[in-house]
Amino acid sequence: MQIFQLDHDKVLSILPDRDPEGHKGTFGKVLLLCGSRGFTGAAYLAAMGALRCGAGLVFLGVPESIYAIEAVKLNEPVVFPLPDRDGMLAESAVEPVLARLDQTDAVLIGCGLGQSPGVLAVVCAVLEHARCPVVVDADGINVLRAHKDILRGRQYPTILTPHLGEFTRFGGVVGRDKMADAARFARLWNCTLVLKGRGTCVTDGLHGFRNPTGNPGMAVGGSGDVLAGMILGLLGQGIPALKAAACAVWLHGAAGDLCAQELGQYAMLPTDMLERLPRLLK
C-alpha cells in the first residue's frame, strides 16, 4: 500500500480553482442530515464546515422539533424540517429525504442524530439510494453496526469517520500498525476510512494518508462535526473521496494548530477552527 503525507502546498494543489463563470450550483449542492433534541450544535458545526470549504449550496435537514433553533442559528444554509419522534428523525422522514437525493452532489448523515429506529431507517435508505458520495459520521456509524453489509453493496463512494471507540464497536481492530488496520477495514467494508485520533489515518485500502497536523486542544465535542462537514464540502465540488477526506483532515488539524498557537489548547473551540479555515484556504 502506498502511504503519503500531506502539507499545505499539496492540499492547495488538490483543491480546484473557482470557475470565474461559476454560480452557486457549480460548487456543489450538498445535503446534511444531522442533529436531534439536545444536539443542535452538531448540525450547526457540520453545516458551517461544509460552507467554509467552499460548498455552493448547503441543505440541512433536521428533526422538526429543533428546526426553529437551527433556522435562527444558521444564516447561509437552507434549513428544512423533517418528521421526528421524541426529538430524533422518524421513519416517515425517509420519503422526503429520498426526494432530495437526485439533486444532491454529496450527503452527510450522522452528526448528533441519536440512535433510534427512525435514524436507522433514514441512514439505510440514504446508503441504498444515494447515487453520490455519502459521509457517515457519529451516530450514523453507530446505528449501522448490525447492518454492515449495506456498505458492501454501495456503488458510489462511502466515507466513514469513526473515532477509536466507534471503530472498535463497529468491529475494527487497532494493533501496532494503525494504518494497516485501517486499510484492512476499508477493504472489508468497501469504504474510505477516516480513523480519527492522533496521527489520523485516511485510506481506501489501497492508498493511505497519515496526517501530521492537529493537537490535544481539538479533543472537544463538536470538533468531529466540523471535520465531517468539511469533507462533505470538498466532495460536493467533485474532489475524489480519498483526496477530499485527506485534505479536510489536514486542514482541520492545521486550523486547530492555529487555534492552539493563538488561543492555547485549553480554551480553543470548534467555532474557533471554523474562523481560521479561510486563512488556510486563501
pLDDT at 5: 87
Three-state secondary-structure class, residue 38: coil
**Is pTM, for the whole model, over 0.85?**
yes
DSSP state of 16: P
Which phi-psi region, left, alpha or beta, contains residue 110 (left: φ > 0; alpha: ψ -120 to 50)? Answer: left
| 96 pLDDT tier (thresholds 50, 70, 90) | very high
Domains and CATH numbers, the chain: 2-11+23-272 (3.40.1190.20)
Judged against a pLDDT cut of 90, whether residue 144 lies above it is answered with yes
Strands 192-195 and 201-203: antiparallel
Residues 223 and 255: beta-carbon distance below 8 Å: no
> What is the 8-class DSSP label of residue 93?
G
Q: At 65, is the secondary structure helix, strand, or coil? A: helix
So what's the pLDDT on residue 133? 98
Average pLDDT, the chain: 97
Q: Which of 157, 118, 123, 125 is nearest to 137 (CA)?
A: 123
Residue 103 one-letter amino acid: Q
Q: Is it the case that residue 24 has pLDDT exceeding 90?
A: no
Q: Would you state the cell numbers that stand for residue 259, as one nine-digit string?
A: 487555534
pLDDT digit string, tens, across residues 186-213? 999 999 999 999 999 999 999 999 999 9
Residues 215-248 pLDDT 10s: 999 999 999 999 999 999 999 999 999 999 999 9
Task: Give the pLDDT band (50/70/90) at residue 6.
Answer: confident
